[in-house]
Amino acid sequence: MKSKLFDYVERDNFVFNLSGMTKLVCFLILTFTVMFSYDARVIIFVLIFSFWILHVSEIRFSQIKVMLYYVMIFLAINFVLTFLFSPKYGVEIYGTEHDLFSITDRYTVTAEQLLYQGTKVLKYLSVIPLGMMFLLTTNPSEFAASLSSIGVPYKASFAVALTLRYFPDMIRDYNDIALAQQARGLDLSRKEKLGTRIKNIMNIFVPLVFSSLDRVEIVSNAMDLRGFGKHKKRTWYSFKPLHKGDAAAIIVSGVILLISLAVTLFINHGRFWNPFLH
């Protein structure tokens, strides 16, 4: 269990110097573009663009290796499950059927299904670099400032800041309690039966949750004593002011969104790109 959620390494380049707010806005715009469109051409463009940004922001492969493994496993499971549950979903969407080869009667591989599932894999792949770009190039203490500057109520933004602040403490508490209980002979591994394992987990949860309730009292008293929440608005020490680069980044992502919407409305007349009709 790592005590750090992710590694934030300060660097000096275009992406790092953007304000957290800009990166959040760009992330949301580009994710929306990819989520909305089912046009493989648009998605491949965003995919290349987002990997290029990842390259520009000088994120090391070792920083994102674990994420990539998780994503690959997830994509593989999703790919197989989609085919098992709906082998003809592509045919339903595109309205034509080009059989390639058949495994059984139900499981016939069609060009439509391959296009649908292939597009889906590309969709998920292209979102990942965008998320990593926001997560790994933004100083965690700037998260709350960026959330609040796009209109999230500041108390909710502050809750996010507290989450990131107390996560390492929680991991440490959890490890301490789990090791102490294991030293007393508590088995948490697969060898125990389900019921016993839940009982054993409760023996960790009770001290963990109750001690965090105590922590809630301490922290909220400290904040109340310093007058937190007196005013309707607050400013953020870590907020980075906006520069020319920020405007450029937002405009570029906005243009990509508009292109994608235009393709959807005027070329494809729907969310799906259908090459089978011609």
Partner 1 sequence: MKKLFEFKTRTLVATGIGAALFTLLFMYVKIPTGIPETSIQTAYGVGSFFAAMFGPIAGFLIAFIGHAISDAVQYGSPWWSWVIASGISCCIVGLAYPRLKVDEGVFGWKDILVFNIFQIAANVISWIVVAPLLDIIIYSEPANLVFTQGAVAALWNAISMGVIGTLLLFLYSKTRSGKGTLSKEQ
Residues at the interface with partner 1 (CB under 8 A)? 1, 5-6, 31, 35, 38, 64, 66-67, 70-71, 74, 77, 81-82, 85-86, 89, 93, 120, 123, 127-132, 135, 155-156, 158-167, 169-171, 174, 190, 194, 197-198, 201-202, 205-206, 208-210, 212-213, 215-217, 219-220, 223-224, 228-229, 271
Least Cβ distance, residue 266 to partner 1 (angstroms): 20
Least Cβ distance, residue 269 to partner 1 (angstroms): 16
Within 13 Å and on the Cβ side, how many CA atoms surround 185? 0
Least Cβ distance, residue 132 to partner 1 (angstroms): 5
Least Cβ distance, residue 129 to partner 1 (angstroms): 7
Least Cβ distance, residue 241 to partner 1 (angstroms): 25
Length of the chain: 278
Q: Evaluate whether 129 touches 51 at the Cβ level (below 8 Å).
A: yes
Least Cβ distance, residue 212 to partner 1 (angstroms): 5
* Structure-block tokens of residue 138: 């933004």
Amino acid at 139: N
* Rounded CA separation 117/93 (Å): 12
Q: Where are the alpha helices (DSSP H) in the chain?
A: 14-17, 20-36, 40-56, 61-85, 89-94, 111-137, 140-149, 154-183, 194-225, 244-262
Residue 186 or 242: the one with the smaller Cβ distance to partner 1 is: 186
Q: Evaluate whether 29 touches 257 at the Cβ level (below 8 Å).
A: yes
Residues 6+ away with beta carbon under 8 Å from 75: 121, 124, 125
3-state secondary structure of 274: coil
Residue 16 or 158: the one with the smaller Cβ distance to partner 1 is: 158
Residue 268 per-residue DSSP state:
I
Adjacent-strand bridge partners of 102? 108
